[in-house]
Structure 1
Amino acid sequence: MLKQTLYIGNPSYLKLKNNQLVVIYPELNEEKGRASIEDIALLVLDHNRITISSPLLEKLMEHTVAVVVCNKEHLPNGLMLPLDGHSEMTEHWRHQLTASVPLQKQLWKQTVIAKIRNQKKLLDKYQLPSSVMDNYSNEVQSGDIGNMEGKAANHYWKYLFDDFRRERYGEYPNNLLNFGYAILRSIVARALVSSGLLPAIGIFHSNKYNSYCLADDIMEPYRPLVDALVVEWYQSYPTFKELSKEAKFHLLQLPKLDTIIEGKKRPLLVAITTTTASLYKCFTGERRLISYPEL
């Protein structure tokens, strides 16, 4: 069974009872719902009056649940993951930390190509100019020294939305994109920990202030799946520009989205685990290619 994403957006008290997460609304002093811990992949906390018990947090970490905390702008700004997510963690870390620079550059090349190809497919879906994206993906070199990723992004954003500039704190629909990417980043970080890898040590990103460099690397080919959800919302509700609960619920479909990976249809949550497992095998030399999804 596919694991769940739970979103809590009201004043709540969250506690553990019989290996289940129990949600209580304190103002009414009544239970509003419960979920088995082992069925949860992601828990999103989006209210400044949420209280969570220590035994519940301990059990969530035991089952590798990613706990995401949102700020006053309702954007994810914190992520809790277990320190020990794999039985052979130190062995996996050793392979990751000793990966050669040429290998890392080749893995980044694969990542950029996969991202550009998925961006092209999204442009194709809406019959937008896309032929130049083939040129960009074919010209990606080891380490993407020619910055084909950036050139492709300039074309992609120019046509995907009307009169749009992609910025972290820019105008709509940047707010929806930011929320979706933050959720995606959390899912990828969780999968990396489950695969016994260090999210902080990237193959391309290397900011010393970033604890999720590898997550930022591996999520790149998955970003167009977030973009696809945002385009759907953008076209269906062109005047609804706020990051409303309805918009969030739409974006929280992300873990269940169907992808094609290794020739099979898989939900995104499962596909990302396939990707991180294949990445580890690239570090050990068991394989040469990372498994990435097709849009």
Structure 2
Amino acid sequence: MIKKTLYFGNPVYLSLRNAQLVIKLPDVEKATDLPEILKKQVEVTKPIEDIGIVVLDNKQITITSSLLEALLENNCSVITCDSKGMPLGLMLPLHGNTTQNERFREQLAASLPLKKQLWQQTIQTKINNQASVLKDCMNEEVKCMRVWAADVRSGDPDNLEARAAAYYWKSLFANIYNFTRAREGISPNNLLNYGYAILRAVVARGLMTSGLLPTLGIHHHNRYNAYCLADDIMEPYRPYVDELVFGLVQEYGKNVELTKEVKTRLLTIPTLEVQIGGKRSPLMVAVGQTTASLYKCFSGELRRIAYPIR
């Protein structure tokens, strides 16, 4: 079953009762002239086991410690946002798998040649998926992207990822003058940042569920980055976010703002349909297959990561 993503952008009280997330409105909760029976009628409850991601996007949200504990015990990712509404923090459980210690040791013992081969597979899939997005969005075949994907060597020493990215972004948003992919760049970079943050949370959750350390990457190794492995594994999934953002730009214009309506569309990322292993699957479920296969690569059971192919 696909886990739900819950977004809270208004003042709200969030608590736990009988393994249910209880949602209450502050004005109703504080009202002294309403009988308790009416207060309970405006409560909304959600089963904890059905929740995969919670996004907290308001300074006046109150959440109880017992609810946070229950969410983390059920491998839920909790995202907090800054004053601009952009994802800022990510809370994950410290344990997500019954054999976590064993899996950590196998991940730590992974050889450099294996990690380079896994990175090669990752970048090959990413570039091919980017090429498919360009074909679908711009209605043109990009043979150079396919060639670059095929030419990626172990560890990508030629940095074909960067070459493909430069071509990709220039082509995908060709109608936006001087567009470059940059965190602080012009729109729709704001949408891409938000979408990638949601994707990162989904992947980090999958890694924890598979008993892996999100911090220890196969390629990324920034000493200040707590989610290097998540950043590695999400690479082939980024084009799905890009395609969604492209559609939003077509619908709302090149100066699209990150409104609540747009955020709602971006929060569908975990449920986007992808194809993995010859079957169609929601993105969040596919990520679970990817992270499970990554562990099997570390343990020696597999030699290839299961990634979605567009």
**TM-score, structure 1 normalization:** 0.98
Task: State the secondary structure of the residue aligned to 1:223.
Answer: helix
> What's the Cα RMSD here?
1.0
Instruction: Pick one of 163, 167, 170 that aligns with 1:155.
Output: 167
CA distance in 2, matches of 1:28, 1:167: 43
Instruction: Pick one of 117, 120, 141 that aligns with 2:128.
Output: 117
1:192-238 Cα shifts (integer Å, max 9, x gaps): 00000000000000011110000000000000000011011100111
AA aligned to 2:203 is: V
CA distance in 2, matches of 1:36, 1:206: 37
CA distance in 1, matches of 2:104, 2:90: 21
CA distance in 1, matches of 2:46, 2:109: 40
Contact 1:258 1:267 in 2 (8 A): yes
Give the superposition deviation at 1:27. Answer: 2.0
Instruction: Pick one of 207, 221, 224 that aligns with 2:239.
Output: 224
AA aligned to 2:211 is: G
Give the superposition deviation at 1:119. Answer: 0.2
Contact 1:129 1:159 in 2 (8 A): no
Instruction: Pick one of 79, 98, 105 that aligns with 2:90.
Output: 79
Instruction: Pick one of 33, 47, 54 that aligns with 1:36.
Output: 47
Give the superposition deviation at 1:129. Answer: 5.4
Q: Which residue of 1 aligns with 2:211?
A: 196
- Structure 1 residues 240 and 171, CA gap change in structure 2 (3 angstroms): closer
Deviates most, 162-171 or 173-182? 162-171
**Paired residues for 1:57-206 under 5 Å:** 57-126=68-137, 127-128=139-140, 130-161=142-173, 162=175, 163=177, 164-206=179-221
- Structure 1 residues 52 and 274, CA gap change in structure 2 (3 angstroms): same
CA distance in 1, matches of 2:2, 2:113: 36
Structure 1 or 2, whichever has the larger Rg, is: 2
Contact 1:20 1:34 in 2 (8 A): yes
CA distance in 1, matches of 2:304, 2:250: 36
Give the superposition deviation at 1:130. Answer: 1.6
- Structure 1 residues 218 and 197, CA gap change in structure 2 (3 angstroms): same
**TM-score, structure 2 normalization:** 0.93
Contact 1:23 1:34 in 2 (8 A): yes
Contact 2:188 2:255 in 1 (8 A): no
**Residue 282 of structure 2 is aligned to residue 267 of structure 1:** yes
1:149-181 Cα shifts (integer Å, max 9, x gaps): 000000000010123211101110000000000
CA distance in 1, matches of 2:83, 2:308: 33
CA distance in 1, matches of 2:296, 2:105: 13
Deviates most, 265-274 or 30-39? 30-39
CA distance in 2, matches of 1:169, 1:20: 39
Contact 2:187 2:255 in 1 (8 A): no
Contact 2:5 2:267 in 1 (8 A): yes
CA distance in 2, matches of 1:97, 1:240: 44
AA aligned to 1:16 is: L
Which residues of structure 1 form unaligned runs of 5+? none
Contact 2:134 2:172 in 1 (8 A): yes
Which residues of structure 2 form unaligned runs of 5+? 30-38
Q: Which residue of 1 aligns with 2:24?
A: 24
AA aligned to 2:262 is: A
AA aligned to 1:142 is: S
AA aligned to 2:101 is: T
Task: State the secondary structure of the residue aligned to 1:27.
Answer: helix
Count of residue pairs the alignment pairs up: 295
